[in-house]
Amino acid sequence: MDKTTIEELCQSYTDLSGSDIQIVASIANTLHLYAELSNKCIFIDCMTKSSKRAIVVAEAFPRTQEAVYKKSVVGEFVYEVFEPGVHYSFSTGKKSDRNRAITQEGKIVEQSTVPIRNDNHEVIAIMIMEEELSGTYNNLNEPSDISFGSKALGNLMAETIDDYPIVPDLLMESFLVTDADQRLVYANAAGVRFINEMSQADRIQHEEILTLLPFLEEVLDNQEEVFVSELTVLSKNIEVKKVKMHSKTNELKGILMIIQDLTELRTKEKELMMKSVVIKEIHHRVKNNLQTVASLLRLQMRQVYPPENKIHFEETLNRIFSISSVYELILANENVDEDDVDLIELTKKISSSMVRNGLHNKIGLNIESNGNRVLTSSRKAVSVSLIVNELVQNSLKHAFPGELSGMIHIEFFSRKKFVELHIHDNGVGMSEVSYSLGLQIVHNLVVNDLEGEFTYMTVQSGTHATIKFPLSQEVMIHHEKTDTNC
CA distance 394 to 389: 9
Query: CATH top-level class for 266-478?
Result: alpha beta
CA distance 314 to 307: 12
Length of the chain: 486
Q: How many CB atoms lie within 10 A of CB 267?
A: 11
Half-sphere CA count of 164, side-chain side, radius 13 A:
21
pLDDT values of the chain reduced to their tens digit, one per residue, 486 residues: 567 789 999 999 999 999 999 999 999 998 988 888 888 889 999 999 877 789 999 999 887 656 566 778 899 888 776 778 888 888 888 888 777 776 665 566 788 899 999 988 889 999 999 887 654 333 333 334 555 565 565 555 544 333 433 445 556 788 899 999 999 988 888 888 889 888 878 788 889 999 999 999 999 999 888 888 999 988 889 999 988 888 778 888 889 899 988 888 888 877 777 766 666 777 678 888 888 888 888 788 777 767 777 777 777 888 888 888 888 877 776 655 456 888 888 998 888 888 877 655 678 888 887 667 888 888 888 899 999 988 998 888 888 887 788 899 999 887 778 899 999 998 888 877 777 788 888 999 999 999 999 999 888 888 999 999 998 888 888 765 544 444
Phi, psi of 169 (to 5 degrees): -70, -15
For residue range 286-300, list pLDDT tens digits in order.
Answer: 888 888 888 888 788
Output b/e per residue, 115-140; b: 16+ Cβ within 10 A: bbbbeeeebbbbbbbbbbeeeeeeee
CA distance 230 to 338: 28
- Which of the listed CATH numbers 3.30.420.40, 3.30.1490.20, 3.10.129.10, 3.30.450.20 matches domain 138-261? 3.30.450.20
The domain 3-132 belongs to what CATH superfamily?
A: GAF domain (3.30.450.280)
Percent composition of the chain: helix, strand, coil (DSSP 3-state, to 5): 40, 30, 30
Would residue 419 be called left, alpha or beta, if left means φ above 0 and alpha means ψ between -120 and 50 degrees? beta
Give the type of residue at 201: A
pTM over 0.75: no
Q: Tell me if 3-132 shares its fold with 138-261.
A: yes
Residue spans per domain, the chain: 3-132, 138-261, 266-478
For residue range 319-337, list pLDDT tens digits in order.
Answer: 888 888 888 877 776 655 4
For residue 431, give the nearest of 402, 461, 404, 408 by alpha carbon: 461
